[in-house]
Amino acid sequence: MLPAYVPNPVAAATGGGRPIDGGRCWSDGKRIFGDGKTIRGLIFGIGGGVAIGLLQILLQSMVNISFLPAHTFLSVILFAIGALLGDLVKSFFKRRRGLGRGEKWPIADQYDLVIGAFVLVLIVDPGWVQSVITLPIALAILIITPLLHRGANILGYVLGIKEVPW
C-alpha cells in the first residue's frame, strides 16, 4: 500500500501555490476542493507514490520477499493517482457538508486514499487486484490504514506540516 499511503503526506509537505479548483465554487456557493488541494501537491504527491512503488519493485526483484504483494509499474501509478483522487473526492464532499479544511470526518478521512486507489485499479487493471489482493491482505489494509493515518498526521503536526493532529 505504500504507493497509496505516501502521496498524501508528500502532497501536504510539498503543497502550496495554485489550488486545483482555481478558487472556484460549486453551484452551492462553496469551494470545489479548497485551498489545501494544490496542483504542486498533486504532482509531487503522485511522484512520491510512484517513487516509493518503484523502489518496492526494485527491492522485491533484489530480495525474495514473496509474502508481500508484487506491484507492477501500472499498479504503482494507479495506486498513487487513485489515492489522491480519493482524497479529492472526499474533500469535495467535505465542502458540501460544510466541513472546513482540517476538520475531522471520521472513517472518510482514513479510508479515502484506499478507496480511491482500489477503485482506480479495479477500473483499469482488475486482474492485478484479483491475482494479488487476498483476504488476509485486505484485512491487514483495513486494520493498518487508520493506525498509519493517525501516526502520519501526528508526525505532520509535530513537524509543522499540518495544522491539526488528526
Backbone phi, psi, residue 35, to 5°: -70, -20
Q: What is the pLDDT of residue 19?
A: 97
Note if the pTM is more than 0.75.
yes
Q: What is the pLDDT of residue 45?
A: 97
Q: CA 69: distance to chain centroid?
A: 18
Contacts of 43 (CB under 8 A, 6+ apart): none
Q: How far apart are CA 153 and CA 163, in angstroms?
A: 10
- Cell numbers linked to 133: 489482493
Q: What is the pLDDT of residue 165?
A: 74
Q: What is the pLDDT of residue 107?
A: 87
Asked whether the beta carbons of 164 and 157 are under 8 A apart, the reply is: yes
Q: What is the pLDDT of residue 30?
A: 94
The residue among 50, 54, 40 whose CA lies nearest residue 11 is 40
Q: How many CB atoms within 10 Å of residue 100?
A: 10
| Per-residue pLDDT tens listing for the chain (166 residues) | 999 999 999 998 998 899 999 999 999 999 999 999 999 999 999 999 999 999 999 988 888 777 677 899 999 999 999 999 999 999 999 999 998 888 888 888 889 999 999 999 999 999 999 999 999 999 999 999 999 888 887 887 888 877 777 6
Asked whether the beta carbons of 11 and 42 are under 8 A apart, the reply is: yes
Q: What is the pLDDT of residue 73?
A: 96
Q: What is the DSSP string of 74-142?
A: HHHHHHHHHHHHHHHHHHHHHHHTT--TT---TTHHHHHHHHHHHHHHHHH-HHHHHHH--HHHHHHHH
